[in-house]
Amino acid sequence: MALYLLGKTGFHSSEDFVINGCSIYEQYGQLTQILQKHCPSIYLAEPTITDNKDPESSFISWYADTKTEPTIPLDSQQSLIDQKLADAVTSLSQAYPAGSAESTLLNAALHVQNKQDILIADDKIVLKGWGVNASSGNDASGLSLFPLSPVTPETSNDQNSDPVSNSAQLSATNTIIPPTTGNIMNAPKRSMGGMPVFLTRLVAAILFFIIGLLLGWRILYAERPTKIAKVPVMEAQDLVRKKPEIDQKNKVLEDEIKKLEDLLKNPPCDLGKNRGAPELNKSLDNSSAPMKSDGKNFQGSLPDLLEKSTVFILVKTKDDNGEDAIAAGSGFFVTPDTIVTNRHVVEGSDGTVLVTNKTLGQFKKAHVVSISSPSSDVNSFDLAVLKVEDAPPQQPLSFSLEAQPLQTVVAAGYPGIIIRQDGALKRLAQGDVNAIPGVILTKGEINAIQENSKGEKIMPHSAAVSPGNSGGELVDLCGRVVGVNTFVTMDSETSSHSNYAQKSDSIVQALQGANIPIQVQSGACKDGVPTGNVQEDKQQPAATPTTTPTKDDKTQGSQSTPDQKADATKPKEGTKQPATTDQKTEQSSTSQGDKP
């Protein structure tokens, strides 16, 4: 379809076109619906009124939205047009009797200035200039195509008058108007001043040509209508020009919507697994990933590695009142069957230590291989080594001795304040031994590297930990253990606190001294990529510090013995609630701390 400007008609005032209480052109939509229902072969051009104060510049523009441009019909098409007009008059007269509001509206609308206003396009009759001569004082001018006035004998018997003009006198008062069988458009051909018809047409053509030359600028640049079908003309034309571009954008959007719908059917995220932030959820660099029991490097992200390596530890113990209690903590694999944790997590146990994670799938028994000596100093060396019984080889973590202030680190473990909200823990407390809570990861930075009273290195850091994190690892972004979370300090005056981890140096020294085949990597970690290489240190044990865990029961000094383990002080953080975090009375100061 295309929009064609059929021409313009001047007028003096829009108040002349009031029919049934409002302008006839405001009723264009109603007229269109009537014609589409009863005679779809008749099409009214859409009027757009430019009503200026100066009557000379007031006009109506006529537009037609058709496939082909409307043209004046040829002589050979007159019979067809006559028949369509006659059928339309019959259909409308049957639908709307004389005197009705619709018949009054139609009688005024189907009124054109002359035959030049009757055009044809797409096998339809297109009427422009309609309704203009139906204004007050002009009832006798133009051509009426839908007459409803009474018939007089004189006009009904006049055989020589113009059929189209005579149609204005046909009656629909008492009878239905029958179809007209004559050629209502074939008016007698006359001459002008005795001039032959062909010369008349030639003169008229020349006059129209001259007028077109003089007024061509007005036709091309005259004021355009403000709206077409309720859309501003300029906007409508711009939309037509941009249609290919709009169609292409719509196609891109449709393709994107389809992709999103496909993703909803097969979501890429497994909500049942722990997910890390984008910078942590990428695969670890192969050179930094620890080896598995088969000698191959771990494949996966840092959250995946920590999920497989970190364990939830439950210890059956006694509370301060001598009643049964359960203490909980964290630990991590350093070999396929060896776990490192804090001494205070397992000391005071009655020999029952249970460990689990989602990879193990259920609780497995573990026994204490060695343990550091108890101390009243909260920041003293605090280490225990466990062996897991009857379990397949697990994924161990490697160590790094490189740690710097402001280095990004991740703490892994099972803090009770968080996991107690996990539905798996609630099911576990109700007896479902296969309900395993997921590991909790927190991210922060190393604040400083300090030494305790014995010269052992400790690290305050900003990764959040709380009771239950004891014994859990602190790793760099390459997945290497740089420390073991052990205690927190609090200042009651300022309500501030700090989280502390034992630096990996003393841990590695103790494990190597016990000939445990741990993995140690050299080089700093930058953006998740280490600068050094992996070295597996199974021999060359370093000098054992006084708090190094060992299997030697006869060694003197501060090394623990089986008797020491059996008589160890009961853990202060034990509780009666199964699978809850170990807790300690928070009598804190700037110099004293609590074991998380």
**pLDDT tens track for 75-86:** 888 888 888 888
Q: How confident is the model at residue 143 (pLDDT cuts 50, 70, 90)?
A: confident
Instruction: Return the axis-axis angle of helices 28-38 and 101-109, rounded to nearest 10°.
Output: 100
C-alpha 508/C-alpha 541 separation (Å) is 10
User: What is the pLDDT averaged over residues 32-50?
Assistant: 88
Q: Which range in 37-41, 179-183, 381-385 is most confidently predicted, on average pLDDT?
A: 381-385
User: What is the pLDDT averaged over residues 531-545?
Assistant: 45
C-alpha 573/C-alpha 595 separation (Å) is 8
Q: For residues 301, 306, 309 and 310, what is the CA-based torsion angle, rounded to 10 degrees?
A: -170
Check residues 542 and 375 and name the one with the higher pLDDT.
Answer: 375
Q: How confident is the model at residue 171 (pLDDT cuts 50, 70, 90)?
A: very low
Q: How confident is the model at residue 216 (pLDDT cuts 50, 70, 90)?
A: low
The CA–CA distances, whole Å, from 480 to 109, 288, 406, 574 equal 89, 8, 16, 30
CATH, range 302-535+553-578: 2.40.10.120
Check residues 376 and 580 and name the one with the higher pLDDT.
Answer: 376
User: What is the pLDDT averaged over residues 144-168?
Assistant: 44
Which residues touch 444 (CB under 8 Å, ≥6 apart)? Answer: 408, 409, 410, 411, 461, 462, 463, 464, 499
User: What is the Cα gyration radius of the chain?
Assistant: 49
> Is it the case that residue 197 has pLDDT exceeding 80?
no
| Least confident window among 360-369, 462-471, 528-537 | 528-537
The CA–CA distances, whole Å, from 576 to 306, 314, 315, 324, 352 equal 28, 12, 11, 7, 15
> Is it the case that residue 43 has pLDDT exceeding 50?
yes
Q: In DSSP terms, which residues pair with 119 in a beta bridge? A: 126
Q: What is the pLDDT of residues 255-266, one digit of tens each?
A: 989 888 877 776
Check residues 107 and 480 and name the one with the higher pLDDT.
Answer: 480
Q: SS3 for 529? A: strand
Which residues touch 175 (CB under 8 Å, ≥6 apart)? Answer: none
CA 26: distance to chain centroid? Answer: 44
- Residue 553's pLDDT is 35
C-alpha 88/C-alpha 513 separation (Å) is 110
Residue 191 near residue 200, CB atoms below 8 Å = yes
Q: What is the pLDDT of residues 236-245, one digit of tens each?
A: 777 778 888 8
Percentage of residues in the chain having pLDDT higher than 70: 70
| Least confident window among 210-224, 362-376, 462-476 | 210-224
- Residue 486's pLDDT is 92
C-alpha 521/C-alpha 286 separation (Å) is 13
Mean pLDDT value across the chain? 75
C-alpha 109/C-alpha 46 separation (Å) is 12
CATH 2.40.10.120, the chain: domain bounds: 302-535+553-578
> Is it the case that residue 101 has pLDDT exceeding 60?
yes
- Residue 512's pLDDT is 94
Which residues touch 512 (CB under 8 Å, ≥6 apart)? Answer: 518, 537, 540, 541, 542
Check residues 155 and 288 and name the one with the higher pLDDT.
Answer: 288
Q: What single DSSP character describes residue 47?
A: E
| Least confident window among 304-318, 424-438, 441-455 | 424-438
Residue given tokens 């009688």 in the structure block: 107
C-alpha 503/C-alpha 25 separation (Å) is 89
Q: How confident is the model at residue 357 (pLDDT cuts 50, 70, 90)?
A: very high
User: What is the pLDDT averaged over residues 49-77?
Assistant: 82
Q: For residues 157, 162, 166 and 168, what is the CA-based torsion angle, rounded to 10 degrees?
A: 180
- Residue 331's pLDDT is 96
C-alpha 247/C-alpha 554 separation (Å) is 86
User: What is the pLDDT averaged over residues 322-343?
Assistant: 92
pTM for the structure as a whole: 0.48
Q: Which of 378, 368, 367, 356 is nearest to 572 (CA)?
A: 378
> Is it the case that residue 156 has pLDDT exceeding 50?
no
> Is it the case that residue 399 has pLDDT exceeding 60?
yes
Other CB atoms within 10 A of residue 535 CB: 10
C-alpha 384/C-alpha 486 separation (Å) is 12
